[in-house]
Amino acid sequence: MYKEKEFISMPIDIFYEEFEIDPRNDDIAFDPIRREFYMIDYICNDLIIYYRLTSEEMFRITEVNLIERYNHSKKV
């Protein structure tokens, strides 16, 4: 079942005060109050446009990160 994304906008300075940015991926933010992950979609002037990640999207991102880390460790 496909669910359409609900885009949210917030002033950039407030966003960076309220959310934690993933150090491995600058496009992923964590809301420690709601305990949810969000994807930054677009930054426009003083606004950030973002949406909540689904469990499936988080799984895919984690999978890609693990594959990249594994491939990098084989090269070293």
pLDDT at 48: 97
Residue 73, pLDDT > 90, answer no
Task: Report the predicted TM-score, pTM, of the whole model to 2 decimal places.
Answer: 0.80
**What is the tens place of the pLDDT at every residue in 33-68?**
999 999 999 999 999 999 999 999 999 999 998 898
Residue 29, pLDDT > 80, answer yes
- What's the rounded Cα separation, in Å, for the pair 13 and 56? 29
Asked if residue 40 lies in contact with residue 27, where contact means CB atoms within 8 angstroms, the answer is yes
pLDDT at 76: 64
Asked if residue 44 lies in contact with residue 56, where contact means CB atoms within 8 angstroms, the answer is no
pLDDT at 1: 56
Cβ partners under 8 Å of residue 28, min gap 6: 21, 22, 37, 38, 39, 40, 53, 61
In b/e form, how buried is each residue of 37-47, taking b as 16+ CB within 10 angstroms? bbbbeeeeeee
Extents of the domains making up the chain: 8-75
